[in-house]
Amino acid sequence: EIVLTQSPATLSLSPGERATLSCRASQSIARYLAWYQQKPGQAPRLLIYDASNRATGIPARFSGSGSGTDFTLTITDLEPEDFAVYYCQQRGNWPPLTFGGGTKVEIK
């Protein structure tokens, strides 16, 4: 089973700042990684797939990069609605499909 480790667990930032979230895989998954955003009481929403492709309707301030075992989600110029929990998910080798533990982006 591929284990995804996200860091940091919590990121405290102000609106307008840049957020950099990390996801590390226990073995190479090429570029088979997605990022999701989840707000309290809501289902997750797909942001990025195949490491760097934005899903439909996702603003350009969200970008993804990486390959192999190290991946990054960057949110430039944080908007108030961006404060949420972010999860990565791999499809490189499954079953099982696995998620990271999440990074909470909170208002400083």
Shortest spacing between CB 74 and other proteins, in angstroms: 19
Task: Give the bridge partners for 94, in sequence order.
Answer: none
Told to check if 45 binds other proteins by CB under 8 A, we report: yes
- Kindly report the backbone phi and psi dihedral angles of residue 104, in degrees, each rounded to the nearest multiple of 5, phi listed first: -95, 125
Binding to other proteins (CB under 8 A) within 4-43 occurs at 32, 34, 36, 38, 42-43
Give 64's contacts (C-beta < 8 A, 6+ positions apart). 33, 35, 47, 48, 51, 52, 53, 54, 71, 72, 73, 74
Binding-site member from 14, 60, 80, 95 for other proteins (CB under 8 A): 95
Query: Which residues lie near other proteins (CB under 8 A)?
Result: 32, 34, 36, 38, 42-46, 49-50, 55, 87, 89, 91, 94-102
